[in-house]
Amino acid sequence: MKKLIAVDVDGTLVNSEGVITARTREALIAASKAGHEVMIVSGRPTYGLREQAKALAFDEFGGILSSYNGGQLYDFKADTILVNHPMDFDLAKEILEFSKSLDLILMVPHGEVIFTDDAENFYSSRESGMLKMEVRGVRDIRDSLDFAPNKLLFAQDPDKLDAPCANIREKFGDRTEQVKSARFYYEVMPMGLSKGSSIIEACKIFGIDIKDTIVFGDEMNDMSMFEVAGTGVAMGNAVEPVKNVADFVTKTNNEDGIAYYLEKFVLNKENK
């Protein structure tokens, strides 16, 4: 039976050094060769996932990128956007106007570029290095934005992030999806979108029953995948709430947890 195999990136697909290990890579490519649909699911921009897609041979065997926490589905081999859910432009401008008074760094990914109001900040440099994307500083980006973004990313030191983001949640929580994706990141997205919603959309596109989905994740922004998937696999390093709702807890991302599960239950290989 054909499966949709969806994997989160940080803490799941890559190890603590940000690398896809050989064993994990081989297991996912073997799954693609066996006819299963492999999908990378992330809050990262589409362009920022191309390195992982190439490592998993998506350009040869096919594969789907779900980016922006469900905001876009992209067929890597066909170089085609299958689904796109940008934020309402007027709503985005309203949020940006409101955020001017808050002590938050703004980053807006679009295409191959991350626009920010502070290109010299640590977090902007971190995003650029991790995603291999150009960071372009635009001091008045909150006034000059001229496109509908897939998401707005706010950053700040962990001990300073929660208070200003609570203001955004109180003001716009009924019109947007919001998630704290890291101790220092807060993401604002169009209403109704999540990693879980992208799983449902991908199943409809590829004619796969939702019960035939296997998802791998480790953090709270992966919970929506576990809520809809046929089988939810928590990494050994996952936070406790994710482990609590999972159907199976595999090994950690540093112990090839994805490969361990696939070899045992999908590829019928002996586990090491």
71/67 Cα distance (integer angstroms): 6
Q: Tell me which residue range forms the domain holding 166.
A: 89-186
Say how many domains are in the chain. Answer: 2
In a domain? residue 272: no
Paired strand residues for 76: none
Buried b (16+ CB within 10 A) or exposed e, 153-188: bbbbeeeebeebbeebbeebeeebbbbbbbebbbbb
At 43, which amino acid appears? G
Which residue, 158, 186, 214, sits at the end of a domain? 186
**With contact defined as beta carbons under 8 Å apart, do 271 and 35 qualify?**
no
Q: Are 246 and 238 in contact (CB under 8 A)?
A: yes
Is 216 within a domain?
yes
Span 149-197, pLDDT tens digits? 999 999 999 999 999 999 999 999 999 999 888 889 999 999 999 999 9
Q: Does 271 map to a domain?
A: no
Return mean pLDDT, the chain.
95
Asked whether the predicted pLDDT for residue 82 surpasses 60, the reply is yes
For residues 65-81, one letter each, b for 16 or more C-beta atoms within 10 angstroms of the residue's C-beta and e for the rest, the string is bbbbbbbbbbebeeeee
- Listed residues 186, 210, 233: the one ending a domain: 186
pLDDT above 60 (res 12): yes
What distance separates the 2 farthest-apart alpha carbons in the chain? 57
Q: Is the pTM of this model over 0.85?
A: yes
- Check whether residue 121 and residue 202 sit in a common domain: no
Render pLDDT for 222-270 as a digit per residue (tens, 0 to 9). Answer: 999 999 999 999 999 999 999 999 999 999 999 999 999 999 999 987 5
Instruction: Name the token pair of 1.
Output: 């039976």
Do the domain assignments include residue 65? Answer: yes
Which of residues 186, 220, 237 is at a domain's end?
A: 186
| Residue written as token pair 């067929």 | 75
